[in-house]
Amino acid sequence: MSERWSFGPYVFAKLDLKAMYGLPGLGFYRLIVQVDITTHGKEPGQEVTVTNIGGELYVTGKGKTEHFLGYVRRQGVDYPIATIKGTADRQLQLEVDLNPRQVQAIEDIRLGGDLRFKLSLYGIASRGGQGGPSNVSATFHYRANQSTWLEVLEQMQYRRTMLLEIPILDDHISPHFPEATKHLQTAQKHLLTGHFRDSVGSCRDVLESLEKALGDKQEIDSSGFGKQREKTKEERLRLVRKALKVFTHPARHADDVAAQMEWGPIDARVVIIMTASVLQMAIEEKGHT
């Protein structure tokens, strides 16, 4: 929906919030909002100039609570936007920097669904030296559906690291466990799209793949859970993997007990953290053998 800027009774510009995209930073993420501005022609001496452009950005997730996200600023040089004799089109880029906790907080309220953004844009307008300056403002509402927001996260490179900065491993990093790595990547995709049970189930697939690759089943069956004090670090790690597999087991089955269990975003996040951690330790262990 278009908004208008007016100086007194005279409309001098039409504004449209066209797009939203992301950029990666070093230790932070940058969210860019693009606003297209069409200025209407004004005769010499009647030109309108707008300076000090800025704004506030708000976001709403699956609930109805609106959250303040941050102050937006113009990208690049803060040059004035001025009307000319004819119609002119301009593009305004506004940016806000987000730290990893803020992006995770957005994910917490999105819960795998869509997001609604509100941009309150403002500036100071003056008209050809006639009278004093005037405040101008516009309010935009922008709906970022699931696919749009996932694309923004991809542009930010947020999907390359998540949660406690545990890297999502690829085949280059983990050549010994390609199947487990792919299952972990699938678990993260399910988390981002709100399929939390499937996310936990994919983590179980990771653990099952590791069990086959590392021979966990045979080792655990022979040593059991007894004689805890005598177990080596490697034996204890096998037990950790076994315990995590037991915990995730119901997400891949539909028996009476499993059917009563609900899996939420916290469950999925924590299980991914633990699964990624044991996979990393398995890679380290494999590198020393």
Q: What is the pLDDT of residues 14-69, one digit of tens each?
A: 999 999 999 999 989 999 999 999 999 887 778 899 999 999 999 999 988 999 99
Given 119, 139, 156, the domain boundary residue is 156
CB atoms within 10 A of CB 126: 18
pLDDT-derived band of residue 160, with 50, 70 and 90 as boundaries?
A: low
pLDDT value of residue 234: 84
Identify the pLDDT of residue 131. 66
| CATH code of 280's domain | 1.20.120.330
Q: What are the tens digits of pLDDT across the range 138-148?
A: 999 999 999 99
Q: E strands of 133-261, at which residues?
A: 134-144, 161-162, 166-167
Residues 190 and 126 occupy one common structural domain: no
State residue 93's pLDDT score: 95
User: Of all helices (H) and strands (E), which one includes residue 72?
Assistant: strand 66-74
Instruction: Provide the pLDDT for residue 226.
Output: 63
Q: Are residues 48 and 87 in the same domain?
A: yes
Boundaries of domain holding 224? 163-287
Are the C-beta atoms of 272 and 162 separated by less than 8 Å? yes
Q: Chain-centre distance of CA 29, in angstroms?
A: 9
Element (H, E) at 55: strand 48-60
Please provide the average confidence, as pLDDT, over all residues in the chain. Answer: 87
In the block, tokens 């545990």 appear at 166
Domain boundary among 124, 156, 188: 156
Residue 240 in 3-state DSSP? helix
Round to whole Å and give the CA distance between 71 and 202: 38
Identify whether residues 191 and 214 lie together within a single domain: yes
The Cα 264–Cα 259 span in angstroms is: 14
**Do residues 99 and 202 both lie within one domain?**
no
150 vs 162, 192, 197, 248, CA distance in Å?
14, 8, 19, 26
CB contact at 8 A, 24 and 157: yes
Within this chain, do residues 27 and 83 fall inside the same structural domain, yes or no?
yes
Residue 43, token pair as written in the block:
């005769």
25, 130: one domain: yes
For residues 122 and 249, state if they share a domain.
no
Residues 46 and 175 grouped into a single domain? no
CA atoms within 13 A on the CB side of 55: 26
Q: Extract long-range pairs of 228-235: CB within 8 Å, 24+ residues apart.
A: 234/285
Q: At which residue do the structure tokens 């749009």 appear?
A: 148
CA distances from 226 to 102, 230, 231, 234, 241 (A): 45, 9, 9, 15, 16
Question: Could you tell me the pLDDT band of residue 163, with boundaries at 50, 70 and 90?
Answer: very low
Largest CA distance in the chain: 91
- Digit-coded pLDDT (tens) for 94-136: 999 999 999 999 999 999 999 999 999 999 999 876 667 889 9
Domain count, the chain: 2
170 and 269 both lie in a single domain:
yes
pLDDT in tens, 164-190: 445 555 555 455 688 888 999 999 999
CATH of the domain at 23: 2.60.40
* Tokens read off for 31: 């969210």
* Nearest residue to 192 via CA among 285, 133, 268, 247: 268
Choose between 204 and 257: higher pLDDT: 204
Which residue, 193, 207, 199, is CA-closest to 238? 207
Same domain, yes or no: 36 and 70? yes
Q: What share of the chain is helix, strand, coil (3-state, %, to 5)?
A: 40, 35, 25
Q: Of 124, 139, 156, at which residue does a domain stop?
A: 156
Mean pLDDT of 260-272: 91
Helices 265-287/178-192 angle, 10° precision: 160
Cα–Cα distance between 54 and 88 in angstroms, integer?
21
Q: Are residues 79 and 140 in the same domain?
A: yes
Domain shared by 152 and 225, yes or no: no
pTM of the model: 0.75
